[in-house]
A and B are shown apart, each in its own frame.
Chain A
Amino acid sequence: MEKQVATNTEPQIQTKKYPYYIEQPVDQNRVGRFLEIFAAVLSYTDYKPLLDSYCTTNTKCNRCAVACPIFVTTGDPKDIPCYKTNLLLNIYKRYFTIGGWFKSRFSFNSFELTEEMIDEMLDLFYRCTVCQRCTKECPLGVDHGLITRLGRYILSLMRIVPKALQVSVREQLEGETHNTSKVPKIALIDTLEFLAEEMEEILGIQLEFPCDKMNRGYTFFCAVSDYLLEPDTLMGNAAVLYASGDWDNWTIGTCNYDGINYGLFYSDWHLERIILQMVKEVDRLNGRKILIGECGHASRSAHEFVPVFGGARPYPVMNFMEYTLESLKNGKISLNPDIITEKVTYHDPCNIARSGWIVNQPREILRSFVKNFIEMEPNGQFNYCCGGGGGLVSIDEINEYRMEVSGKVKADQIIKTGAEIIISPCANCKKQLRELVEHYHLPCKVMGLHDLILQAIEIPGGKSTEERKAERMEMEMMG
């Protein structure tokens, strides 16, 4: 990764080089600060038994190396997941275990944390996309993603965190808009009005998006960037809700409408606060369920952590694809199988697929209306990361790394399918895949699942799918 220098800091403390922009580089006594923070983290969290177990059992068998798309591309031993995990485990062993203390007192060859090791950690922990594919291939089940995340957490408390992530999280937690893209409420309402007009034009139905409606079944959160960048995904979501007869059973809260949770990638502190902010909004609206749009990490963070942080009776969390499949199975929606004729493939977002949670649902939906569906190999729980996971996609200054290294295996996988459309129900994956398609000049386009559903869904009282297809083709011919 090319080293770049942060630009927005005081010149007198600008002595180190970081691989990504950071806000306030700490260049003095980093070793002491790291150990102080590590000790505080161990005091208040549950990580100690995990580290104890990994320290003892880590066999360094290297199976994780071949599972990691980054190591497969670079062949650099520093990119082996076990190598990165050992960086942190060695520090834990030396400074926080009796064995480590004993060895440091009585051995001539004891390990000491150095400034260079901190440089190595802050680089390597952000070369990993935290996709956890290595964990699936580890015979012992060592979760390298969790350790990388813990390393990032400690570094973030030293204020060593990519500026792109920190600025977004600050706005989400402490800013006026409470969302990562700084979209004000008025812009949200404008966007929803625009989407309603578009839906009237495309589908032939008149709608008003429900905002701040009380006592609704579903409170909807998507990646806030979707409101700016993915109108088709949102219209697809809305079309499914309308056709399912649930239009009066959902709402968007205008105090908090962002499902993004970068805390999942680097900080327990932020992760919990963002989840509590989401729960507070559902409380305000007296909602019953949290419905997450097409976003992998937003879905995972809500699905896994609303039950952990959301109090004694946490709200159930549903991914939108689960909702759509349920509607399809119950016969509430109908998808025309003659509309999509292109060759379509599906990219599994790691955050929802690796655990096996959302693997079959999108495939069942796609197979019901896409005749020419082809799988990537491998897929599902063993899929390859798009190369932008773990927050990397938001760090623009490492674009070259994402294209040439972390996304290379995925680009090769896409080429092998020969697909014309790549479906990826995740805001982060879509951004990374679009950049890959552009970088490698791939003859395909990247879409969300509901973008495709928008084209094939039959809308009661609206235009037919054939009519809409004809209009779309006419528009395309007109350029």
Chain B
Amino acid sequence: MEAWINFAKGPLFTVTFLIMLLGLARLVLIQVYSLFITKGRRLKNAPWKTIFSDLSTWMVPVRHLIKGTIIFSLVSFIFHVTAILVSLFLIDHIVLWEDYLGINLPAIGRGLADILTLTTIACILILFCCRLFVPRQRAMSQKMDYVLLIMVLLPFVFGYMAGHPYLNPLPWQTAMLLHILSAEALFVVIPFTKLAHIVLYIFDRLSALHWQLKPGAGDKVAEALFGKEARV
């Protein structure tokens, strides 16, 4: 078992983490190229003020708690904050960042980490229930939406179990291995699923730039389809 854990913590971690990083870098590069290079000078006409104001208000979306979505929005916001804090600043993860990336981040205390982890788990369960029981959400949800929520849930559950052996029905090593493997599974799917919004979020928020249409494109499409004599 020890060998498996070492394998998961070593080469497998490196490979999966690289898949995530390279996958996300590919998405970012495509967006940067297509937005900032191909649109070029047209971007100066874009409504930058509105874009930045929307971006800033959505960072802490208290102004966007509208009737019918208050629970969902609050839970969703808390989930994002707690999940990011635990993933980045847990003392055991700090060691990883230092070993692999040479980054030295401050750590959060064990007690706080426990609270944040349990809050994250509770939030994911509530979001899952919302998908399952709110009719309009259920109507829009596909299998993958549920699968991804479970995939996000597992590293937190196994991580908490590994950190609390007395509450853990599984052997510590099993819980730790499952924690690492579930997190690595998540790394692999992130660039290929909606979880890629961790980096593409910023580009979606730049949607207004896409109203800066390409001059002459309409004529070219019409000519390609109907010839030079295209009529309305």
Contact = CB atoms under 8 A, between A and B. Distances in A.
Interface of A: 36-37, 40-41, 43-50, 52-54, 56-63, 65-67, 71, 75, 77, 80, 82-83, 86, 99, 135-137, 139-143, 146, 157, 166, 169-170, 173-174, 267-273, 304-305, 307-309, 355-357
B14 interface: no
B187 to A, nearest CB: 16
B27 A269 contact: no
Contacts of A44: 214, 217, 220-221, 224
Nearest to B61: A139
B161 to A, nearest CB: 28
8 contacts: A36-B225, A45-B213, A139-B73, A140-B201, A140-B204, A169-B232, A271-B213, A272-B216
B145 A53 contact: no
Contact of B221 (A45, A67, A75, A137): A45
B164 interface: no
Interface core residue of A99, A137, A308 (most chain B CB under 10 Å)? A308
B134 interface: yes
Given A62-B134, A80-B136, A271-B218, A43 B224 contact: yes
A389 B7 CA distance: 59
When A and B form their complex, which 5 residue pairs have the shortest distance between CB atoms, in order from nearest? A269-B218, A49-B34, A77-B139, A66-B68, A143-B207
B11 interface: no
Main secondary structure of the interface of B (DSSP, over half): helix
B35 interface: yes
A166 B232 contact: yes
Interface residues of B, number: 63
Contact of A272 (B27, B212, B218): B218
Given A141-B205, A143-B207, A355-B50, A57 B196 contact: yes
Given A45-B213, A56-B27, A61-B76, A308 B136 contact: no
Contacts of B133: none
B211 A140 contact: no
Contacts of A269: 218-219, 221-222
Nearest to B42: A308
B54 interface: yes
A170 B232 CA distance: 5
Contacts of B136: 62, 65, 71, 75, 77, 80
B134 A47 contact: no
B141 interface: yes
Interface string B179-197: 0000000000000111011
Interface in B73-98: 73, 76
Interface core residue of B30, B53, B140, B206 (most chain A CB under 10 Å)? B140
A115 B206 CA distance: 33
B106 interface: no
A103 to B, nearest CB: 11
B228 to A, nearest CB: 14
B220 to A, nearest CB: 4
Contacts of B76: 61, 139
Contacts of B204: 53-54, 57, 140-142
